[in-house]
Amino acid sequence: MNEPVLVLNGNYAPINVCSTKRAMGLLLIGKANLVLDGRGVIRTVTQSFPKPSIIRLRKVVKRPHPEVKLNKKEIFRRDHYQCQYCGRRSSTLTVDHIQPRHLGGESTWKNLVTACVQCNHKKGGKTLSQSGFSLLKKPKRPPKSATYLFRKYLNRYQEWEPFIEGW
């Protein structure tokens, strides 16, 4: 009942991912329609219901465009889990401030990058020019597109792809 279900707005725009339990609740009270099932059935004592994979809200819900939250996990994801100084992929990645905090650097998308422990240690509290390092790519805020926001689910739930692509 905790398996993810893609929630589409009334205009078929992807807006959220919820649990199967929450999706079933929305279907049963009539706030959503089943778009795609195929995960089996949920049985009660008297009835069987198709287990949803994608549901669509009956009405269009106005909400702001979702933003990617600035956190360690999202910085690693933006940088493809790769050190932005040496290009190495490691199981022990850290987040580095390009402009160190003690020199006025802030924690923003443009000032934070993924670094391996060795490069982060070598760079220390220095700027890029002082340390002699250069970046593989210039850091920027990730896109607000549905493809980026829901990409982590697409490997496991390929049936979601036509509903996510292009939004």
Long-range pairs of 71-79 with CB within 8 A, sequence gap ≥ 24: 74/142, 75/112, 75/113, 75/114, 76/114, 77/142, 77/152, 78/109, 78/114, 78/139, 78/142, 79/113, 79/114, 79/139
Dihedral-angle region of residue 57 (phi above 0 means left; psi in -120 to 50 means alpha; beta otherwise)? beta
Cβ atoms within 10 Å of 117's Cβ, excluding its own: 12
Q: Taking all residues of the chain, what is their mean pLDDT, rounded to a whole number? A: 91
pLDDT given at position 2: 85
pLDDT given at position 8: 94
Structural contact between residues 79 and 113, judged by C-beta atoms closer than 8 angstroms: yes
Structural contact between residues 95 and 114, judged by C-beta atoms closer than 8 angstroms: yes
Order of strands, edge to edge, in the sheet holding 14-19? 14-19, 4-8, 54-57, 32-36
Which pTM was predicted? Answer: 0.75
Token pair of 158 as six digits: 């390929």
Delimit the domains of the chain by residue range: 4-66+144-164, 72-131
Given a cut of 50, the residues of the chain with pLDDT beneath it are none
CA dihedral 57, 51, 155, 78 (to 10 degrees): 40
CATH class of the domain comprising 72-131 = mainly alpha
pLDDT given at position 87: 94
What percentage of the chain has pLDDT greater than the value 70? 99
